Amino acid sequence: MTDRPIEDYAVIGDTCTTALVARDGSIDWLCWPCHDSPAVFLRLLDEDKGGACEILLDDLRETRRAYRPGTTILETLFVTATGTLRLTDFMPLHPLAEVPDEGPDGAPHGRIVRIAACEAGTVSGRFRVRPTFDYARDGAALEPEAGGTVLCRRLAKPEGVRVAATVPLTIVGDRVEAAFALQAGEGASLVLAHREDDDGDVGSAAASLAATESYWHEWSGRCTYDGPHRKSVLRSALVLKLLTHAPSGGIIAASTTSLPEAVPGTRNFDYRYVWMRDASFTVTAFVNLGYVREAAEFLRFLREADGTRGRDLKLMYGINGRVPEEEILDHLRGWRGVGPVRIGNAASSQHQYDIYGEFLVALHAFLDAVDYDPPVKVNDHLAEVLGHLTGHVIRCRHAPDHGIWELRDETRQILHTKGMLWVALDRAVQIAQEVDVAARERVEEWRRVAAEIRADYHEKGWNARIGAYTQAYGSDDLDAAVLRTVLFGAFEPDSPRVAATLEAVSAGLGDGDLIYRYRNADGFEHPEATFAACAFWRVGCLALAGRMEEAEPLFARLLARGNDLGLFAEEIDAGTGEQRGNVPQGFTHMAIINHAVRLDRAARHRDAPMDEPFRQAVGA
């Protein structure tokens, strides 16, 4: 089978990197040792040139799959003509004897473990491993080792993948195979190890599975949300946890690169980096579920990656350094032949001023969650950070930018950006009111400038002819991002103009329950699919306006748009229902969490207005 649908993929990981597993059990995407490392398996982007780790069964008839509850451990049940086999896939992540104040909260082992167990009848087949190093730009030498393992060694660099199994391994051309014939109660295990000092011992697979399940059960057990959508919320939280990079504290936007946002089209980008905006969204979602430590870890990442305490805040960061220059890998055909395949991201050089508001929302939520008693390393420089961030806001308040959608043509006076600049100053004032971190005259300046910004975008952002707030000052173009500003309090949700904007966006950008980001020209040839998070923003605006009878069923219908495991990519094709863009996408799963929390709180207080602190904490 070629070019599997994006929604066919499940994700496993160890908070260092992730792997994507297709419905038929093929691991088609893996970057090792971390999220933005060169891919070892990338059949996801090229069926012929990209490697994979497959399980091939004789006379296969049916497959079913599910995660073990509260974990990222994937189980796939294969039904063949002669029996059934359960395949358990995971990346080992063991509990620590004592979790430190900072740093990883578990012990990743740099492995993928695959345990096949025959549950009925007889099942025969084989594992097949074909690594293609450095995005299939480097070859592999397959070397048998003492003890029965095989080292798949990269030719250009001293690194590789060690393959071990409980059944004999054979080298067949550029592949390693492990054939098995199992009866009920028998099993076969395969281990892929990345570390040089890992001998690939498969005897510990069962114990490692138990330890990994223990880690995830403990982590999931700390989720504070207990509303009607707990299953979806917890799965989304687990996805966000997999998108973290525990050694650094960073949070990437998605696991993949170059899955297209439009078919046909050229909207293929690399999302394996730490976007300030996306990471801040995720921090807020973590805080809303009681995962305060993950929020603190992101602040650690910024402290170590930036070092300027907000003086030179970047739009995005690499996990272990700068974001590489954007590069096209023209030797790869792309998913379904839709290229180009890109690594790196040119948007890293853009001006996107909304990030100051995004970060201050996350910082405010974190400080509120710890009752304004943050760790010393946060508190010691809080005044300096606030000073730098508010200084940026005041200096750029009149400047055009590329905005949240990273438009690759000209800069504009984008309404969403202006709203988030107000949000930045509003949250800075609230922080200063709780913690003595700024002189009174500075706080008064923040209030004054915030009021001026708010008055400015209320006046210049409204388009009387369109009857809505539009994308940019003087623009006739609608933009779903305007709905986000309502969620953060930049507009009153029950005002007539906001109601009119919601209706205009729903009519002009909507396709049933789904919403396009915008429909104006943006420098690309083909239009994109609908943006999943935008549909959830509409849920939030309906809830804030008291229209719960519309918000709740809409939210339920949107959740049903996920794949069979509850996973979402960035976008959804309105015509086919297929997922589009990189997967799993943190932006979408963050929106699921925050709007489930918002709806639950609103349902509990139907007869009372939602309090402002909660509205601000939930965010987008």
- pLDDT of the residue at 1: 43
- pLDDT of the residue at 375: 80
User: What residues contact residue 44 under an 8 Å CB cut-off, 6+ apart?
Assistant: 9, 20, 28, 29, 50, 256, 259, 335
- Burial (0-12, 13-18, 19+ Cβ within 10 Å), 520: middle
Beta bridge partners of 75: 66, 88
Q: What is the DSSP string of 342-364?
A: EES-GGGGS--TTHHHHHHHHHH
pLDDT at position 613 over 60: no
**Per-residue pLDDT reduced to its tens digit, 116-165:** 999 999 999 999 999 999 999 999 999 999 999 999 999 988 889 999 99
Closest CA to 130 of 40, 204, 206: 40
The whole-angstrom separation of Cα 524 and Cα 408 is: 8
Closest CA to 219 of 101, 118, 96, 362: 96
The whole-angstrom separation of Cα 402 and Cα 15 is: 31
pLDDT range class, residue 376, cuts 50, 70, 90: confident
Domains of the chain: 6-219 (2.70.98.10), 222-618 (1.50.10.10)
- pLDDT of the residue at 67: 98
Model confidence, pTM: 0.96
Residue with tokens 């040139």: 49
The whole-angstrom separation of Cα 597 and Cα 618 is: 7
Q: Kindly state the tokens that stand for 232.
A: 């979806």
Closest CA to 244 of 189, 297, 289, 299: 297
Handedness of CA 90, 95, 96, 101 (dihedral sign): positive
Share of the chain above pLDDT 70, in %: 97
Average pLDDT, the chain: 93
**Per-residue pLDDT reduced to its tens digit, 571-586:** 999 999 999 999 999 9
- pLDDT of the residue at 158: 86
**In angstroms, how far is the first alpha carbon of the chain from the final one?**
38
pLDDT range class, residue 608, cuts 50, 70, 90: low
pLDDT at position 244 over 70: yes
Residue with tokens 């300096």: 384
Q: How many CB atoms lie within 10 A of CB 319?
A: 23
